[in-house]
A = this chain, B = another copy of it.
Amino acid sequence: MKINLDKYKNLTRNFEREIINLNPIQRGGILPVEAKKAVYEFWDGYSVCDYCGGRLDQVSTPPICEFLEDFSKFVNLDISRPTHGAREGKFIVMHSICNEGDYVVVDGNAHYTTYVSAERSRLNVVDVESDGYPTFRINPEKYKEVIDNLEDKGKNIGLILLTHVDGNFGNVEDAKKVGKIAKEKGYPFLLNCAYSVGRMPVDGKKLNADFIVASGHKSMSASGPCGLLAFKEEFAEKILKTSEKFPIKEIEMLGCTSRGLPIVTLMASFPHVVERVKRWDEEVKKTRYVVDELEKIGFKQLGVKPKEHDLIKFETPVLDEIAKKDKRRGFFFYEELKKRGIGGIRRGVTKEIKMSVYGLTWEQVEYVVNAIKGVVETHK
């Protein structure tokens, strides 16, 4: 066996420390200093198992058990469990409450992980189309149509799912209405909050959600991978079903899920997250400012207007024009931003870009806006 081990000797990363990172999937996952301190304590394998009596969710040192109760309060649902992330939460729900072959009704903006969770659970997926370009809004009434249609065909519906904030346009959808429709029709309703819980206030009961999945690394300032699943009491029996041979072990959790460092960062960051959610309006203000400024130079915001979430998708014909004459082609934008200490915009892409200034200071937001304007002005 010949393995060159040198490549593992200095694994480094320059994002965050040296660069302003505009990648939307990463802006909500940056650790505050409190969480970094906890990392030193819990980086070893199985570090949360020192005082375990057989169940991760019942560990009280560190306070995982209390944290799960606090999280249930935070999202206003009854019971919570740690997961490896939003997708694993969706899979747990689909796999435990649906039957093979059931239909899951999802929004047309659903994340790919919703589809693969359903495929892994051997379910069928039907989408509720958005209203398309340029807003891509989901009309809750269309859920009713799709459900009626499936019922007319005698199909078995196992779950209604809505992406609270989608990963393409950052639209905040009307969960309450979709939840109401699901409830009236008698189907369980899962709200995918990977992009919302930890950023903005989310009240599960008010939104008529039976299940909420959240993403620690995406929106709760935690190290990846980890997440949370919260749900209403009435689903506990199915979701928390225990092993026949090992009655303490929950089958869908395979006993224990997030058995290590990430969940510790999730807990250590929780006070920070609870605070920042209260300042959500300010984040939306920053986002709208960016949109206003960059539309002045020819960018066009896609999705619902005005923005209600930090993820921005722009059509950028002006960048595309420049790319046609620049010898670096589509890469000019990435490279020019890099020179200015800005990263996280997809390399080589100029027709459409995604970005977020979530959690940046106003000073940094200004800097980013001016840098982008500068690149466009000097190159067009």
Contacts and interface: CB of A to CB of B under 8 A. Distances in A.
Interface of A: 1-3, 5, 7-13, 15-16, 23, 25-26, 28-31, 34-39, 41-50, 62-63, 66-67, 70, 73-74, 76, 84-85, 87-88, 91, 95, 100, 112-113, 115-117, 119-120, 125, 215-218, 220-226, 243-246, 249, 251-252, 254-255, 257-262, 264-265, 267-268, 270-271, 274, 343
Contact of A87 (B7, B254, B265): B254
B87 A255 contact: yes
Contacts of A1: 73-74, 76
Nearest to A127: B245
A259 B38 contact: no
A45 B84 contact: no
B262 A119 contact: no
Nearest to A125: B245
Given A8-B270, A46-B218, 20 more contacts: A2-B73, A3-B70, A5-B271, A8-B63, A11-B62, A13-B47, A23-B49, A23-B50, A26-B44, A29-B46, A44-B223, A45-B215, A45-B216, A45-B223, A112-B255, A116-B243, A120-B251, A120-B254, A224-B260, A262-B262
Given A112-B246, A218-B45, A271-B8, A224 B261 contact: yes
